[in-house]
């Protein structure tokens, strides 16, 4: 039995001399120590070489030194915000990579990762000096030039997309990038407060979940605490003081549990190392926020880890602990039988310890412990001799491949990043195919997400789903242990309605890709009309000359005019902004010439409204709040990735939104010939008598209208009157008026009106 303690603040005062005599380590790692930079002072190249010499050959070390000399030469004279020579940063990044024992190309790329971005070194030069592998890694780590982007957010999203796609092709890219971000977060103190918060928020939203998804748990926890310290510095300091005080107050309980557990396991013949462990500051803070607790109410600040020798010992140790302390119902999780998405394996159980305190235990083998701490990096030098991928590497490879699938179906950087963020959420549900294969999906995933996780073609042709052998709606959320079966049909196609409930990025991007493809012609046509309207408002010719089109495409990220029109049609670009850009290209930087009236006020030129035909597909949506139909006065709202949403002109919701974003509203009108039917809601107050519902439904059918939904208001007195609500499909206001007159004549119908909100 090896008893290992892990906290210097407690070790000096632990009970009994024996533990001190054995040279025990501290029981809990200090939260302060966890966020300090590695080593003291500025990182040195000699320390890096000493660390690399443990696993690289002399020939490989020579290549490392060449990369260092080149990087040092390129960054000569460049300083960090803290006043240190800039070269200290690449060395520190390489040192973190060396802790993961990454290969020679990765270490060289870590030393060179900023030369392309900061010193304008070309990729061809890196290929010539250091080879194509190193050059490709450095290129994947370099940000794009900040041109062609309409906003800082779009530029940031495109940089993330480039990095993630490079990662999908070579996981070393993200490992180096995470090391880069870790050192930047450790040395963020010299930045301005606003920049600190921006970088910390970006770290929490993107890099922390990526580290978790790849199983880099030590990195994940440190990045979380570092980001927390810069986002909420006062809360961080307050919580740090509270934890230091709690260590002293709870020392007796911790020592008693350690002694009792170690003695019990030894008596049962189980060789084990027992570690005390402290939750991260951010983990404690998150629990306090989510459960509305004070710090004193968070009882499980400390937990214990039991590391045993074999797989079987994990379950024997679990039984031994359950015999020692009473387990809490519903607090046992077996991540050995079903590993987490990132390869993590352990048994988790919460027991009622001494003095009634709940205590969490994690039980695992040495191999599981290594993977739990280092994830993908743990397998870097431990590949199977036969060349096959480990189970963890296969899962990681499958996720990275899904990034490439999403990229193929997504044309927009911000949308791509949105999909990836969704898939980075750590919570997951584990379900089974009919052949008992385990599929892991994000929490909240639906049966349709399951279909797309099998294959895009399966998702596109899904018509129904069965969960545990019972047919369910496609929007049904999955639960752990569900057996899911998908029913497909060659004639089935994705519906825009699916976007309202799918959860995974892969499903969402596949549905949007399909809808864009089948409605591309309509989106292009609508985009042309919107741009023509915007150009006319600026007194410009809607027909653009070829040389102007070429200049416009050169300064935008669109590859063709049709792509530009389609982006406008689906709301990715605003027609007014594109029109103003065209005006600036025509007149240079000179302000536009505006017509003035006699008093000096600007004359507004009358612009023809955009005609709505009803066949524009996903480019035009009818607002569900007011459900306008032909004959109603209407107005259009431009929404990103949704095209135009058509509201009634007097819609209260539209009025409120128009005051907030007036630039996103345009004049629209119904086309002379509208080629579809539209839904609207009608409410009837009827006498509660036999056959009234059947008579009303029959009359609606006789009036050439279709019923899509019906409901009854239960608030009315059922003995006297009942309120019925119908959603019907009609051609226009004249058709609706005729239907309402016919229904009103039915005996028993006291009142009928159209709902408008």
Distances in whole angstroms, Cα of residue 562 to Cα of each of 103, 235, 360, 416, 557: 46, 52, 59, 21, 12
Question: Contact 274/305 with Cβ under 8 angstroms?
Answer: yes
d(CA 628, CA 151): 34
Q: Is the model more confident about 530 or about 156?
A: 530
- Residue 110's pLDDT band, with cuts at 50, 70 and 90, is very high
Q: Is a pLDDT exceeding 80 seen at residue 584? A: no
Q: What is the pLDDT of residues 160-211, one digit of tens each?
A: 666 566 655 677 888 888 899 999 999 888 788 888 888 898 888 778 877 8
Which of 567-571, 640-644, 649-653 has the least mean pLDDT? 640-644
Q: Is the model more confident about 653 or about 412?
A: 653
DSSP character for 301?
S
Per-residue pLDDT averaged across 568-578, rounded? 71
* Catalytic residue of the set 32, 73, 118, 391: 118
DSSP character for 81?
T
- Residue 450's pLDDT band, with cuts at 50, 70 and 90, is very high
Q: So what CATH class is 41-231? A: mainly alpha
DSSP 525-591: HHHHHHHHHHHHHTT--SS--HHHHHHHHHTSS-SSHHHHHHHHHTTSS-HHHHHHHHHHHHHTTSP
d(CA 508, CA 109): 34
Q: What is the pLDDT of residue 592?
A: 44
- Residue 418's pLDDT band, with cuts at 50, 70 and 90, is low
**Cβ contacts of residue 25 below 8 Å, gap of 6+?**
4, 5, 6, 11
Annotated active-site residue 477? The verdict is no
Which of 96-100, 144-148, 348-352 has the least mean pLDDT? 144-148
Which residue has 């597909």 as its token pair?
A: 617
CATH classification number, 2-30+237-379, choose in 3.30.460.10, 1.20.1090.10, 3.20.20.70, 3.40.50.2300: 3.30.460.10
Q: Is 678-755 in CATH node 3.30.70.260?
A: yes
> Which of left, alpha, beta for 233 (phi over 0: left; psi -120 to 50: alpha)?
alpha
- Residue 507's pLDDT band, with cuts at 50, 70 and 90, is confident
d(CA 420, CA 424): 6
**Cβ contacts of residue 243 below 8 Å, gap of 6+?**
31, 278, 281, 284, 301
**Cβ contacts of residue 692 below 8 Å, gap of 6+?**
686, 722, 746, 748, 749
Q: What is the pLDDT of residue 582?
A: 81
Which residue has 């536009």 as its token pair?
A: 592
Which residue has 């930047």 as its token pair?
A: 184
Annotated active-site residue 145? The verdict is no
Asked whether the CA dihedral 280, 286, 291, 294 is positive or negative, the reply is positive
And the tokens for 216? 């880099």
DSSP 418-449: HHHHHHT-S-EEEEE-TT--EEEEETT-BHHH
Q: Which of 44-48, 567-571, 720-724, 734-738 has the highest mean pLDDT?
A: 734-738
Q: What is the mean pLDDT of the chain?
A: 77
Show the 3-state SS of 460-499: HCEEEEEECCEEECCCCECCCCCEEEEEECCCCCCCHHHH
- Residue 413's pLDDT band, with cuts at 50, 70 and 90, is low
Domain spans of the chain?
2-30+237-379, 41-231, 392-517, 519-670, 678-755
- Residue 342's pLDDT band, with cuts at 50, 70 and 90, is low
For the beta carbon of residue 587, count every other beta carbon within 10 angstroms.
11
Q: What is the pLDDT of residue 513?
A: 77
Question: Contact 191/403 with Cβ under 8 angstroms?
Answer: no
- 392-517 folds as Ubiquitin-like (UB roll) (3.10.20)
Q: What is the pLDDT of residues 33-69, one digit of tens each?
A: 333 333 334 568 888 999 899 888 999 999 999 999 9
> Which of left, alpha, beta for 101 (phi over 0: left; psi -120 to 50: alpha)?
left
Q: Is a pLDDT exceeding 60 seen at residue 317? A: yes
Its pTM stands at: 0.52
Q: Is the model more confident about 523 or about 742?
A: 742
Q: Is a pLDDT exceeding 90 seen at residue 451? A: yes
- Residue 226's pLDDT band, with cuts at 50, 70 and 90, is very high
Q: Which of 149-163, 445-459, 510-524 has the highest mean pLDDT?
A: 445-459
Q: Is the model more confident about 717 or about 214?
A: 214
Q: What is the pLDDT of residue 122?
A: 87
* Catalytic residue of the set 60, 72, 84, 117: 117
Q: Is the model more confident about 322 or about 6?
A: 322
d(CA 730, CA 709): 13
């Amino acid at each position: 039995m090896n008893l290992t303690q892990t906290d210097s603040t407690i070790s000096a005062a632990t009970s009994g001399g024996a533990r001190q005599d054995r040279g025990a380590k501290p029981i809990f790692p200090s939260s302060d120590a966890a966020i300090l930079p590695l080593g003291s002072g500025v990182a040195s190249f000699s320390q890096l070489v000493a660390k690399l010499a443990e696993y690289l050959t002399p020939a490989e070390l020579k290549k490392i030194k060449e990369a260092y000399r080149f990087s040092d030469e390129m960054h000569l004279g460049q300083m960090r915000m803290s006043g240190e020579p800039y070269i200290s940063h690449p060395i520190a990044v390489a040192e973190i990579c060396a802790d993961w024992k990454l290969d020679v190309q990765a270490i060289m790329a870590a030393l060179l990762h900023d030369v392309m971005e900061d010193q304008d070194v070309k990729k061809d030069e890196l290929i010539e000096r250091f080879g194509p592998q190193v050059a490709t890694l450095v290129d994947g780590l370099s940000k794009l030039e900040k041109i062609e982007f309409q906003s800082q957010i779009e530029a940031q999203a495109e940089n993330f997309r480039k990095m993630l796609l490079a990662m999908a092709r070579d996981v070393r890219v993200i490992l180096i990038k995470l090391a880069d971000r870790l050192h930047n977060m450790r040395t963020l103190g010299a930045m301005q407060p606003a920049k600190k918060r921006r970088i910390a928020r970006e770290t929490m939203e993107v890099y922390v979940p990526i580290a978790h998804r790849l199983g880099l748990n030590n990195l994940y926890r440190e990045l979380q605490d570092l980001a927390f310290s810069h986002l909420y510095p006062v809360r961080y300091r307050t919580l740090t003081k509270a934890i230091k005080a709690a260590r002293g107050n709870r020392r007796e309980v911790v020592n008693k549990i350690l002694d009792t557990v170690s003695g019990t396991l030894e008596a049962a013949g189980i060789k084990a190392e027992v570690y005390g462990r402290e939750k991260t500051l951010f983990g404690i803070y998150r629990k306090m926020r989510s459960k509305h607790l004070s710090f004193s109410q968070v009882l499980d600040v400390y937990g214990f880890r039991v590391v045993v020798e074999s797989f079987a010992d994990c379950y024997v140790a679990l039984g031994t602990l359950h015999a020692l302390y009473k387990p809490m119902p519903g607090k046992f999780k077996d991540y050995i039988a079903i590993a987490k998405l990132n390869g993590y394996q352990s048994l988790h159980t919460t027991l009622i310890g001494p003095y009634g305190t709940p205590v969490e235990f994690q039980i695992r083998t040495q191999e599981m412990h290594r993977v739990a701490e280092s994830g993908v990096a743990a397998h870097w030098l431990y590949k199977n001799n036969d060349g096959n991928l480990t189970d963890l590497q296969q899962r990681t490879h499958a996720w990275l491949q899904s990034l490439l699938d999403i990229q193929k179906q997504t044309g927009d950087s911000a949308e791509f990043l949105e999909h990836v963020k969704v898939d980075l959420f750590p919570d997951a549900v584990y379900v089974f195919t009919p052949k008992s294969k385990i599929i892991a999906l994000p929490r909240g995933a639906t049966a349709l997400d399951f279909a797309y996780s099998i294959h895009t073609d399966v998702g596109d042709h899904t018509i129904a789903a069965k969960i545990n052998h019972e047919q369910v709606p496609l929007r049904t959320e999955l639960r752990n242990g569900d057996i899911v079966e998908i029913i497909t049909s060659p004639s089935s196609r994705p519906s825009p309605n699916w976007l309202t409930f799918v959860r995974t990025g892969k499903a969402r991007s596949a549905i949007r890709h399909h809808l864009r493809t089948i409605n591309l012609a309509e989106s292009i046509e609508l985009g042309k009309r919107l741009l023509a309207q915007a150009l006319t408002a600026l007194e410009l010719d809607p027909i653009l000359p070829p040389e102007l089109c070429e200049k416009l495409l050169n300064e935008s990220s669109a590859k063709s005019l049709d792509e530009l029109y389609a982006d406008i049609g689906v709301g990715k670009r605003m027609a007014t902004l594109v029109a103003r850009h065209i005006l600036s290209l025509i007149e240079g930087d000179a302000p536009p010439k505006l017509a003035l009236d006699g008093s000096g006020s600007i004359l507004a030129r009358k612009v023809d409204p955009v005609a709505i035909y009803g066949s524009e597909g996903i480019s035009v949506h009818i607002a569900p709040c007011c459900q306008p139909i032909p004959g109603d006065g209407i107005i259009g709202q431009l929404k990103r990735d949704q095209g135009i949403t058509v509201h009634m002109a007097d819609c209260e919701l539209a009025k409120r939104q128009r005051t907030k974003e007036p630039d996103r509203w345009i004049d629209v009108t119904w086309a002379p010939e509208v080629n579809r039917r539209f839904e609207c809601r009608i409410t009837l107050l009827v006498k509660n008598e036999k056959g009234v519902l059947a008579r009303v439904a029959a009359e609606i059918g006789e009036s050439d209208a279709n019923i899509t939904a019906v409901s009854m208001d239960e608030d009315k007195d059922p003995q006297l009157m009942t309120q019925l609500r119908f959603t019907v499909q009609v051609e226009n206001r004249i058709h609706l008026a005729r239907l309402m007159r016919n229904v009103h004549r039915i005996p028993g119908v006291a009142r009928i009106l159209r709902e408008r909100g």
